[in-house]
Amino acid sequence: MGLLIAACASLAAWLWLTLAQGMFWRTDVRLPPRTAPARWPSVAVVVPARDEAGVLPLSLPSLLAQDYPGEARIVLVDDGSTDGTAALARRLAAEQPGLPLSVVSPGDPPPGWTGKLWALRHGIGHARTAAAGAPEYLLLTDADIAHEPDSLRELVAAATSAGLDLVSQMARLRVAGFWERLVVPAFVYFFAQLYPFRRINRPASRTAAAAGGCVLLRTDAAVRAGIPDSIRQAVIDDVSLARAVQRSGGRIWLGLAERVDSVRPYPALGDLWRMVSRSAYAQLRHRPLLLAGTVAGLALVYLVPPAALFAGLAGPPSAGSAATAWAGGLAWLLMAGTYLPMLRYYRQPAALAPLLPLTALLYLLMTLDSAVQHYRGRGAAWKGRTYARPSDA
């Protein structure tokens, strides 16, 4: 009887998620309608980079080659790299003429700052005090993000056409090996479930999020929102940035990218595990009750359906067993059905859809590991740095 109740609760949750959670499962939220502005505004592309020599040859040339009609320049912020990132960036710029590139270094972040946000602060400050004058827009993009030649032009056209202060695209992550195929599309699916793009993009919406790999931000909006100083301790900086812009009265937009891709490989499960676990507990604001609720919710929504289906089919013939199997099977069907559009977006086979409970179990374990690492003092660790919760900083 207990499993039947859980299966019915899971089915009810999936009906609600499918119909009432902002159509999170749809993947057709792309750049809004846009036309070329009468005058193309100036843009500074700010790229924080820490030990990125492995991916920079695949990403930086795409920025240098941007076909932008207005004034644009690139500021790469070398955040204490030890692998020759700065020298490599200068060499790539010398080999491929294009947008002008400046390479700067802010030194180590002071207490109370995450490394990326300290680098962004330095890069934005450099861009605003350059001889060419303060840019009207800032493109904040990670060092592992490759852009098609018209990416900047399309982003600016979308922002100016719709009067948006922030336009963010979730870059298409690399999907090559087995573990990337199993885990990466689900990462974006879960993110969209938490932050439905359609809901974010409604005027006067209270839901806010961005994808840190590709954020076009109007400079005036950044100043008004105090970016990045107002979010200097944020580990999940993209969501915090979007919230700060929204709270200050700015209009934000988030969608999936068509011509913006991450080139960072995650070939092994351990690579993906570290990528998720480093910030999972920070997403829960380091609160044990939220952790317990998240674990229970993941189990109910993702793990109960297959368990109920198999238990109902294996149990003795009875009305209760049949009802358990039907409730679990229907919930699993809704789960897989809503996952299919994301798999198509990532050009992956539909056969991966029924495996979503397994992927959810991995994410549940990654979240628990994130909490364990936090209480061991290893917290949100990235490239040799560990960040405490804000109250501890």
Looking at the structure, tell me whether residues 366 and 241 fall in a common domain. Answer: no
- Please say whether the beta carbons of 65 and 93 come within 8 A: no
Looking at the structure, tell me whether residues 112 and 8 fall in a common domain. Answer: no
Here the CATH number for the domain that contains residue 188 is 3.90.550.10
Query: What average pLDDT does the segment 305-323 reach?
Result: 91
38 is a domain residue: no
365 is a domain residue: yes
Q: How many other C-beta atoms lie within 10 A of the C-beta of residue 271?
A: 15
For the chain, first and last CA: distance in Å? 48
Looking at the structure, tell me whether residues 300 and 245 fall in a common domain. Answer: no
pTM of the predicted structure, to 2 decimals? 0.93
33 is a domain residue: no
For residues 119-136, one letter each, b for 16 or more C-beta atoms within 10 angstroms of the residue's C-beta and e for the rest, the string is bbbbbbebbeeeeeeebb
29 is a domain residue: no
Domain boundary among 207, 238, 267: 267
Looking at the structure, tell me whether residues 174 and 254 fall in a common domain. Answer: yes
- At residue 130 the predicted structure's pLDDT band, cuts being 50, 70 and 90, is confident
Looking at the structure, tell me whether residues 167 and 261 fall in a common domain. Answer: yes
Encoded tokens for 188: 């974006």
* Gyration radius from the chain CA atoms: 22
pLDDT of residue 317: 84
Angstrom distances, CA of residue 64 to CA of 47, 138, 150: 12, 15, 12
pLDDT of residue 381: 60
Distance CA 168, CA 151 (A): 12
Looking at the structure, tell me whether residues 227 and 323 fall in a common domain. Answer: no
Query: Which structural domain range is residue 73 located in?
Result: 43-267
Percent of the chain with pLDDT over 70: 96
Domain boundary among 234, 267, 300: 267
Looking at the structure, tell me whether residues 278 and 244 fall in a common domain. Answer: no
Query: What average pLDDT does the segment 310-327 reach?
Result: 91
Domain boundary among 233, 267, 301: 267
Q: Which phi and psi (to 5°) does residue 114 adopt?
A: -80, 155
Q: How many other C-beta atoms lie within 10 A of the C-beta of residue 30?
A: 14
On the question of pLDDT at 391 being above 60, the answer is no
348 is a domain residue: yes
Q: How many other C-beta atoms lie within 10 A of the C-beta of residue 303?
A: 17
What tens digit of pLDDT does each residue of 202-222 get? 998 999 999 999 999 999 999
Looking at the structure, tell me whether residues 168 and 60 fall in a common domain. Answer: yes
On the question of pLDDT at 393 being above 50, the answer is no
pLDDT of residue 392: 40
Encoded tokens for 208: 């806010």
Query: What average pLDDT does the segment 3-11 reach?
Result: 97
pLDDT of residue 377: 78
What tens digit of pLDDT does each residue of 54-104 get? 999 999 999 999 999 999 999 999 999 999 999 999 999 999 989 999 999
Q: Which phi and psi (to 5°) does residue 149 adopt?
A: -55, -25
Encoded tokens for 378: 């290893």
Kindly report the CA angle at 290 between 307 and 201, in degrees rounded to 5?
90
Three state DSSP letters for 105-162: CCCCCCCCCCHHHHHHHHHHHHHHCCCCCCCCEEEEECCCEEECCCHHHHHHHHHHHH
Looking at the structure, tell me whether residues 285 and 262 fall in a common domain. Answer: no
- Please say whether the beta carbons of 308 and 8 come within 8 A: no
What tens digit of pLDDT does each residue of 326-383 get? 999 999 999 999 999 999 999 999 999 999 999 999 999 999 999 998 888 776 665 6
234 is a domain residue: yes
What tens digit of pLDDT does each residue of 248-303 get? 999 999 999 999 999 999 999 999 999 999 889 988 988 999 999 999 999 999 99
What tens digit of pLDDT does each residue of 98-129 get? 999 999 999 999 998 999 999 999 999 999 98
36 is a domain residue: no
Higher pLDDT, 266 or 315: 266
Looking at the structure, tell me whether residues 318 and 334 fall in a common domain. Answer: yes
In the chain, how many domains are there?
2
32 is a domain residue: no
Looking at the structure, tell me whether residues 106 and 235 fall in a common domain. Answer: yes
Looking at the structure, tell me whether residues 373 and 244 fall in a common domain. Answer: no
For residues 148-177, one letter each, b for 16 or more C-beta atoms within 10 angstroms of the residue's C-beta and e for the rest, the string is beebbbbbbbbbbeeebbbbbbbbbbbbeb
AA identity, residue 45: V
Any bridge partners for residue 254, and if so which?
Answer: 168
